[in-house]
Structure 1
Amino acid sequence: MADSDMIKLYSGRILELTADIPHTDRLANPDATVRKRSPLCGSSVTVDLGVEDGHVARFGQDVKACALGQASAAVVGHAILGCTRAQIETARDQLRDMLKSDGDVPDAPFDGFEVLTPARDYKNRHASILLAIEAAAEAFAEAEESACA
């Protein structure tokens, strides 16, 4: 990756997000916990989720990722409280499409992922970017399944 490409990819806004990841405390009694890891780069995200009345009521995350994974986790952390499973799964699918198929930026409240559009050209970064939203979607599904059991 050339220096100019690196500068474009790691914009000031992305670096700001890495310093502002919300909900970094793990939950004491989550309804579900999911850990996702990118084998390519070693980035990992662990998500704790509490669900009430079909919405995310509590959220915690432990993020050990590259700057792009951290920025993505920050976007998730800022947007996720109050979201439904459908909103999270839609955001996951839209983010994947944005990165891999030049799709549109995810709908609000996850439109903050727009900052990661320059990463489309760097396929080796996609897995790290997807970790937080994939873990959140999986945790929500697990929380609902355990509530029905």
Structure 2
Amino acid sequence: MSGDTDLIKLYSGRILALAAEMPRTDRLDAPDATVKKRSPLCGSTVTVDVKLTDGVISDYGQDVKACALGQAAASVLGANVIGQSRSDIEAARETLKDMLKSDGPAPTAPFDDLEVLRPARDYKNRHASILLALEATLEAVDQAEQAACA
């Protein structure tokens, strides 16, 4: 039963608050790209819409069906994604991945609130859900950039 107790502790008040306060949950009417990603391990799904202006995200919408950890990560992303470039999002994803897998440092501002997910490092089956919104966003930015060059 201690595993159940540890998992309950993982879902801290801050994580639950982030999940409940997720910004940018309205889908965009005319996005430059839309990507839906699903984690086969846990079944979480994230759909993101992006608009790019001069290489940075100028508008963003998301539909997140994930555990509270995935929702919390999407919440931090949604609160800070406007004005970010592909390389900014990629750096946040790589740093978050390193934090979860190797207990590395937390992502830097503006994504420093992802630090709240550090306790999830011991729950490898939750990592895919936590990374899903960042990965979907990167794929959407790639698609938008390709479409702009076509």
Q: TM-score, normalised by structure 2?
A: 0.96
Amino acid at match of 2:142: A
**What is residue 94 of structure 2 aligned with on the other side?**
93
Distance 1:129 1:99 in 2: 9
**What is residue 40 of structure 1 aligned with on the other side?**
41
Amino acid at match of 2:20: A
**What is residue 111 of structure 1 aligned with on the other side?**
112
Amino acid at match of 1:127: A
1:101 to partner: Cα distance: 1.4
1:107 to partner: Cα distance: 1.5
Identical residues among aligned pairs (%): 66
1:108 to partner: Cα distance: 1.0
Moved more, 137-146 or 114-123: 137-146
Q: 8 Å contact 1:38–1:131 — kept in the other structure?
A: yes
1:142 to partner: Cα distance: 1.0
1:7 to partner: Cα distance: 3.1
**Structure 2: 5+ residue stretches without partners:** none
**Alignment size in residue pairs:** 149
1:8 to partner: Cα distance: 2.3
Q: TM-score, normalised by structure 1?
A: 0.96
Secondary structure of the residue aligned to 2:84 is coil
1:12 to partner: Cα distance: 0.3
Q: Which string of whole-angstrom CA distances, capped at 9 and with x for unpartnered residues, describes residues 91-144 of structure 1?
A: 111111111111110121111100000000000000000000111111111111
Q: 8 Å contact 1:8–1:118 — kept in the other structure?
A: no
Distance 1:9 1:99 in 2: 13
Amino acid at match of 1:88: I
**Structure 1: 5+ residue stretches without partners:** none
Q: How does 1:1-149 map to 2 (within 5 A)?
A: 2-149=3-150
Secondary structure of the residue aligned to 2:34 is strand
Q: 8 Å contact 1:119–1:126 — kept in the other structure?
A: yes
Secondary structure of the residue aligned to 2:63 is strand
Stretches of 4+ aligned residues off by more than 6 angstroms: none
Distance 1:62 1:27 in 2: 11
